[in-house]
Amino acid sequence: MFDKRTSGILLHPTCFPSRFGIGDLGNEAYRFIDFLADGLQQVWQILPLGPTGYGNSPYLCYSALAGNPLLISPEKLVEDELLSEEDFAGLPDFPLDSVDFELVVQTKMPLLKKACENFKQQASEELQEEFKQFCDRASDWLEDYALFMSLKEVFEGESWNNWHKEIAKRKPDAIAKWQNQLKEPIFSQKFLQFQFFRQWNSLKEYANEKQISIFGDIPIYVAHDSVDVWANPDLFCLDEETGEAAFMAGVPPDYFSATGQLWGNPVYNWEKHQRTNFAWWMRRVEAILEYVDIIRIDHFRGFEAFWAVPQGEETAIDGEWIEAPGEAFFTLLKQKLGKLPIIAEDLGVITPEVEALRDNYGFPGMKILQFAFDSDRANPFLPFNFINRNCIVYTGTHDNDTTVGWFSIRTPEEQARVIDYLGCVCPEGIHWSLIRLALSSVANGAIFPFQDLLALGSDARMNTPSVADGNWGWRYRSEAINAEVSTHLQFLTHLYGRAPY
């Protein structure tokens, strides 16, 4: 996809308008695809689609392979005759511009549970057969996931390493016992995954028919409290007694943080992964490529070397760099899959060794325009310093402020530096100026958050790193998609040679 000039929009599905309080895979998702096509965009970038845990972050999911049930469209379940419009009577007044996650769960999960009960009682033979085929096809991860999520309910949300010792350690007798006791909730979890992937695959097919590729995201690490760690403890560096992370992931102190960043995820036992020919990672990539077309690997540098912090530390200061077998992994992956549709998130302090790993496999890197104006003319994010076309340029990412918000909090001197580079701020505003700069660059790919098209300020920001609360909840209103925005996007995309051909 990124071997020619192209452009696209970054927007997570939770951001769609919906009467159920959170964006889903219903009609507004299809309307957004139509908007992309009308605006001559060829890429829709999303965040991870997994079931989120504490904090609602798509980068801390209960599974690396499962989908988030909150994205299931109840309206699509009406089409399958598993719900009716009468079931939606008395919906609460959800916020229009944000997600109240607690209220969404309280409202939506009973609807999904009712749909599951209706499925058992009245689903057509064709739909039942489709469900059976899905369960068979996904059994290598679905069985563990359905049991894990059912156990989470039994133990009232406790992390798996605080469950009864026998089931925390996955003793065969305990597994058999709980599988027998939890047949109903296990079935429900499988049904939810069936519906998620059924709706997602339909949406992806629609996007691909419109010549739009789905650009997904793989966080390099998984959450400690996840089925991935519970079901595969030998693949992670864990304390054998407590099950806690023996070494935690993060990044060391740098210009931005005197204490570094301590993420808390367990790091990988790469020796074990190598002995299995990276079977877990191979399956993870293959599974993701079943429902996206392109993958961004978050924290790509961790495949060359990773920062490991011992258990018990409260900051990332006292860690060490440990080499990772990225070359061995990507070589095997390429042998199995051929050309790899992978983008490397290569932001932060990147060493020549990381650049060599990226370039050896031809992975495009990332350029962020909001980072381009705070140093001298050698800044690698300034477009005239892009070494080659094999990169993706962004106005900002989900971790940045919106362009309007970013510009508004800059000092007059800092704003002048941006304006001097641009020559002027175009009449449409600073957001379109940076979008023009991205589109006009030599980078093969240009992507911008949907908030930037809408000229939204900091209150529309998706995530503020290192801030625990108030993230991941922004939504837009239905009227935000209109002919004026679409026509201007179409004009600029064609003007700078990024229209489909």
Query: Which long-range CB contacts under 8 A does 201-210 form with residues at least 24 apart?
Result: 201/291, 202/25, 203/25, 203/29, 203/30, 203/33, 204/291, 204/292, 206/30, 206/33, 207/33, 207/36, 207/44, 208/293, 210/33, 210/34, 210/36, 210/37
The residue whose two tokens read 């925390």 is 168
Helix 101-122 to helix 125-137 angle (10° resolution) is 120
Contact 431, 425 (CB under 8 A): no
CA atoms of 24 and 26, how far apart (whole Å): 6
Candidates 291, 207, 205, 204; CA nearest to 36 is 207
Tell how strand 43-45 and strand 305-310 pair up.
Answer: unpaired
- What is the CA 486 to chain-centroid distance, rounded? 25
Question: Tokens in use for 312?
Answer: 């018990």
> What is the rounded distance in angstroms from the CA atom of residue 210 to the CA atom of residue 501?
13
List residues with catalytic annotation: 298, 345, 399
The two three-digit tokens of residue 461, written as one number? 């920001």
What are the backbone angles phi and psi of residue 225, rounded to the nearest 5°?
Answer: -85, 75
